[in-house]
Structure 1
Amino acid sequence: MKETLELIGKLDDSTGDNSPRARFHNYLKTYITEVGQLRDYIEESIRKKDNQYSKAFQDLVNHLGSFLGFEVIYGRYSGVKNEIGFDGHWISPEGFHIVVEVKSSETYPIKTATLLEYMNQLISENQIPSDKDVIGIYVIGKPNPEVQQLKNAIIAENRFQQLRIISIDSLISLAELMNEYDVNHEDILSVLKPSGPSIDPNVEIMIKLASQQGLPPETPETPKKPTNSEGEVNYWITPVRDEEEENASETIQKLVGKLQFYAFGERTPGRKLIKQGDKICFYETGNGIVAHATVNSSPKKETRQEIRNPESYPWIFSLKDPKLYLDNPIIIDKSLRSQLDAFKGKDLNKLWAWFVQSTKKITEHDYKLLTDDNIN
């Protein structure tokens, strides 16, 4: 995306068909037509810490709205007097409206009154029929523990029928589900509209269902027999997501780097196959591979209080020789995907998040590329 933004010029609120923002919007509409491309662009815009990429992120979120079946009205980058300052206005074919507020992070407190005012102004100007036909959604680029403050404000003000919060990763996942599975715009709308301030839990359920399609059920009474020989090394990739109390990098730093163990849930794919001597790499959702280690024991059921929700992740295995590179992640972009065994014969522009949405076994070749690990 760097080259594209350099050619387009500095994004600002200037108008006209040849303005940088208009050219960027046209570029997205013409060339970014696959959800896999859009995920690449969005993740790059989050990793870069400058104003140009923050503005691009806002436009990319709005472009994502069109993938979800909405008519999208792009908002301004900066507020100005006497104009409604929404970041995006999405209109459903069903007649429902979503007013979008985009935040690359939630480092600073967000006032719910601002988004509510945008919604009221649009109703006053007859762009939205009534307050029953609209919700406001905060799209958070990089959730952190402070997001709880926004949720608390929504609940305390009794605004949970009007305001919602969703991470960009969950919003992209909705587009991926709509693209690859029997999920339509009406389904998406029903996910975005239910009560409760956060949409993420609903999306995570859908992701789990989709990622486990085709996997046979695992039961404790009939453990699977490993297909590999006793001394054969398996290679694994496992995702780590941001949580309200602790983001993914903090989790990896604590469990993998400091305490040198990790935990799986009852139904984590591969839980019964991973063993001592295997290699595992850790994907920070929305960022890249940020750590790898050698598995030093098979999973055993125990409770470790250092884990968030230990009852959900009771299968503990130790690690050794961890290597962390949180500030220098290995990005799974189109160039890298073209070299991976997992993507042979696949369209590199199409959905690719299936590769990082659940724990899975990968080839030694892919593990080396993803970690640059000196296996020997």
Structure 2
Amino acid sequence: MTIRINRRTALGLGSVATAGAVLGPAAPADAEPADQGDDDGTPTTPQSAADRIAAVYQRQKLRAGGTWHSYVTVADPAGPPVAAVAEGADDRVEAYSVNKIAVATAVLDKVDRGLLSLTQQVEVTAAIVVPGGDGIFSLDGAYPSSVTLGHVLANLLTVSDDTAVRLCGLVCPAAEINQILVAKGFPQTQVQPVANPNRFFLGSTTPRETHDLLQALVGDRLLAPGSTAFLLGLLRSPVAYTDGFRRTMSSGERARVATKAGWYGDARNEAGVVFDTSGSPVLTYAMFAAGQADPDNFGATHPAVAARAVMGRRFLDAVSALDGVGTARRAARHRPSNGG
């Protein structure tokens, strides 16, 4: 099954569901009392944690309504990850900004091969800025200017800047991005080329491929160590997305989650990795939702985003007693500044 929404027509969908039934407006999911069974002790095995996560996912998905395509696993030191959720995991879906991880992967692959540098300058012209787009480049108003490629990627993956996508296209055209991703084993995770070779729509993926790309990243199989640390540092930073999975967490808990959200039309997507307290990856998630009520609401009260806020809190609690698998990476320590 393939679910495809063309970026040019997605806004026209309005309140019509892309697939499945729309169950109508829901109360904010984070206001709901604890789900029955959530207080029956902390899971102590990967399978029991996966069972808890599956139950939470199903309840919150039903409350939010719409259509979900998801793949969520729990790390198991004794073997392969345990699948907690596998719903339409191999269906191709519109990724929207979740595919900015894939774009950054292609750019950093060129950095690893010495073809690009994070310190090189990228020219920002008024013509390349996306009018009214998400992020900060459209707010500046002082163009032309130049920024480093590292600055471009920081904005791409934290505030999800739309102009940063076009700036990445200047140094890594659409066809090259797709070739790099295919070579790395991700043929379903592709951007959508347009007439201008340096521009593209963010394209599609499958939940399993996005999950596997994240697993390859934290498993040191995707990029060189420096690029891996750089990319994960952005996804775990305090300014990375906080409305969904990380919403009801402390600042320390948020630092244990690397996440990237994507939203457009009536779609609300998010994918990421949860690390245990020592810094090893313990849970990987890729969730793509569409067709919920309130499609013009891009805030934290959207039904799918509110559902992921509940999931994030309870998924984190479900794996709190478990050890992750693989390289331990403690988050960089961030201290607020009072200027000076």
Could you say whether these structures have the same fold, taking a TM-score greater than 0.5 normalized by the shorter chain as the test? no
Q: Which has the larger radius of gyration?
A: 1
TM-score by length of 1: 0.24
- Taking structure 2 as the reference length, what is the TM-score of the superposition? 0.26
| Higher relative contact order, structure no. (Cα contacts within 8 Å, ≥ 6 residues apart) | 2
